[in-house]
Amino acid sequence: MRYRQLGSSGLTVSEVGLGCNNFGWRIDLEKTRVVVDAAIDAGITLLDTANSYGNRGESEEFLGEVLKGRRDKVVVATKFGSDMGEGPDVARASRWYVRRAVEESLRRLKTDHIDLYQLHRPDGITPVEETLAALTELVHEGKVLYIGSSNFAAWQVVEADWTARSRTGLERFVSAQNHYSLLERAAEAELLPACTAREVGVLPFFPLANGLLSGKYRRSHPAPEGTRMAGRPIDESTYDRLETFEKFAAERGRSLLDLAFAGLLAAPAVSSVIAGATSAEQIKANASAGDWQLDDADMEALARL
């Protein structure tokens, strides 16, 4: 496993991160322990969850439980700002909400600090300066070390960064967690250039496109039982793209899964690629996929596809 700095911050993260959205939803506590054990053994240090994951809280609770005695071995990232059952009109980026949400997450995670605390999505109500001020207070109190955004548009990333830099004493968002994969490349148009310019580390989620880039799916074959795409149609144009990518990887002695990670890790501003897992086998495959470093010729050929 290799490691990078998260944007221009001092926070070091593994190039492959573990998304914890399956904890409490698709897998129970003991299976969560198996997955986290495998991740730590593979050198994965970035564990990313959210207060809303796992039926609104179970993912954080499970993670707090399985990290007992080894909290200092990992970077714990969590998020606030998604619906936790309060109703539709709550300003989930407000100072009032932030103060309450962080205490609940700290309790569930059984820790005295969160390494990376991220706004899950803009609430459309709260000025970003208020959110940054509330998060800055948490940093000064030692409850949070670094802060980040998620699901921000490029202009929102730039606005937040300008606000932090132009107001004395405000902490900056050091990361932007957004949807990005070889099948979903909208981030390349504006988000990646904006984050590169502002020195914000990008954390792609859904890098395997619901498993489509895992190599499990074949044209004219039903999706395997128990997978995310089981019972869901996959159009022919998607199979065309998957087969093109798979051929590219095979010509270089690698798998489609390997390319799914390597292609993103070669992109500017990307600090770590976050992928979920439900088994130790998936963890090992994801971790080894991060070992492939595309050279300039590979990147040019991939761009032409």
Would you name the residues annotated as active-site residues? 53
Closest CA to 31 of 63, 2, 56: 63
DSSP count for the chain of H helices, then E strands? 10, 10
Residue type, 201: G
Are 287 and 16 within 8 A, CB to CB? yes
Query: Could you say which DSSP state residue 170 is in?
Result: P
Which CB contacts under 8 angstroms, 24+ apart, belong to 257-260?
A: 257/208, 257/213, 257/214, 257/215, 257/285, 257/286, 257/289, 258/288, 258/289, 258/292, 259/182, 259/213, 259/292, 259/302, 260/181, 260/182, 260/207, 260/208, 260/209, 260/213, 260/214, 260/289
Distance in angstroms (rounded) separating the CA atoms of residues 302 and 16 = 21
Are 13 and 46 within 8 A, CB to CB? yes
Are 183 and 202 within 8 A, CB to CB? no
**What length is written for the chain?**
305
Query: Could you say which DSSP state residue 222 is in?
Result: P
Closest CA to 211 of 250, 272, 256, 270: 256
Q: Which two tokens stand for residue 254?
A: 């690698």
